[in-house]
Amino acid sequence: MLPSCKLLLAVLLSAALVGTVCGQTPPVKPAVVDLEINGAANHLFGIGWIGARPDRSIAVVQFQNAVLRYFDPNGRSGDEVRIAPEANARLNAAGTFGDSIWINDASVPQLTLVSPTHKIARRLSTAVAIVLPSGDESPFAPPLGMVAPRPVGISPGGGFLLLAPRIPARASPSELHQPPNAYAALAQVASNGVLKRVVSWMQQNPGCNARSGTWTVSLPLCVQPQTAVSSDGRLVATVEAAVTGADSGTFQATVVNVRGDTVYSRRNRFAVRPVSQREADSAIARTTASFRRTSNYAVVNAIEAAFHPTLHPPFESLLLADDGSVWLELSGEGIAMPWLVLTAAGEVSRIVALPAGLRLRTISGSVLWATRRDGPNEESILRLHVE
């Protein structure tokens, strides 16, 4: 049943939602907490990834202390798998490969594959230098340092799906079809590093950065294209919103598979909302706070000179479920955290409202998994269902 116009208008005041006519607004469904795994009692912190199974058990990778933990459907802690020595590890990615779980350690770099029986099955080097089949000079960063390519999936036939940053000064061959503002590619590569295909390019709005010396700072309240990869690495979603020009008030959602085939590409409307002076002042204060504390006023001045928001970006973040549904966190200041849900065919389905203060991590059908920060080194995990 559609909620009342009064409720919809209240939600519209707190977020830029799809549709401006009451009868065309998608139904709002609350997400209700039905299980909490307490962070203090279970020593949960530094959570980087949560994987959910149909039986409502979960696997949790704690990036900070390099451990994989399992919890049963009742939230009881079970097996733990040490991925690497805590002092040296730098975990930065995880996902699923069939019934197994993979975790990447950028300090080595290597990927650890954990079997369904909770045992380490094998380790694979991810120090992959991407090579173009044509023999041309690769435009992608080498497997060194903080900008090294990192895995976001394992290919069924061998090799990886890599998030590969570009070398800015190096041109890409025309056959790669690189768009002008691309900063990285989601690239499928063989185990020997030979590029199979660019699945998707990741783009940025150059006007969303402030630069001063060696510093580059992302500006808040700026409209950026967003990209997400499903946990199993099979699908990639990109959402681009427009708040100016002929397409103002629309967003384009595109999902492709790892072969680069387009599953769908659809354009939908949203309500454009101006940025208030209070919102702008609050955002600039948060962004410059750390630089003011260290008296780095050159960066503060660069941020203030570049920061001129007028219209809200419609989305804060993007998640792609393994079933192909796309979840878009809507911008707003309401007491609930609204997420717009697109079906696996790209159609607007509903708005799911999470309690404030939760970070949505994983979607498994109608079951959601989120985290809540309870302290500097304490995170609780919450299971929710959509009513």
CA atoms of 90 and 77, how far apart (whole Å): 24
Among 85, 82, 80, 120, smallest CA distance to 100 is for: 120
* Cα-based distances in Å from 261 to 29, 83, 168, 235, 254: 32, 34, 27, 10, 11
CA atoms of 48 and 329, how far apart (whole Å): 19
Q: What is the pLDDT of residue 359?
A: 96
CA atoms of 140 and 248, how far apart (whole Å): 33
- Least trusted range by pLDDT, from 68-72, 211-215, 321-325, 333-337: 333-337
Overall residue count recorded for the chain in this entry: 387
Cβ–Cβ under 8 Å, residues 277 and 283: no
Classified as helix, coil or strand, 352 is strand
Cβ–Cβ under 8 Å, residues 28 and 19: no
Tens of pLDDT, residues 177-229: 999 889 999 999 998 999 999 999 999 888 899 999 999 999 999 999 999 99
Mean pLDDT of 365-375: 95
pLDDT at 16 > cutoff 60: no
pLDDT at 86 > cutoff 90: no
Q: Which helix (H) or strand (E) holds 286?
A: helix 277-293
CA atoms of 48 and 93, how far apart (whole Å): 8
Angle subtended by helix axes 277-293 and 297-306, to nearest 10 = 160
Q: DSSP class of residue 136?
A: P
Under the banding of pLDDT at 50, 70 and 90, the label for residue 237 is very high
Cβ–Cβ under 8 Å, residues 69 and 77: yes
Output the six-digit token pair for 224: 């950026």
User: What mean pLDDT is reported for the chain?
Assistant: 90
Q: Before 26, cis peptide (omega within 30)?
A: no
CA atoms of 362 and 360, how far apart (whole Å): 6
Mean pLDDT of 138-143: 92
Tens of pLDDT, residues 331-355: 865 668 899 999 999 999 999 999 9
What residue type is 133 in one-letter code? P
Among 362, 372, 365, smallest CA distance to 386 is for: 365
Q: Which residues are within 8 A (CB) of 64 and not within 5 positions of it... i.e. 6 or more apart?
A: 45, 46, 48
Q: Which helix (H) or strand (E) holds 305?
A: helix 297-306
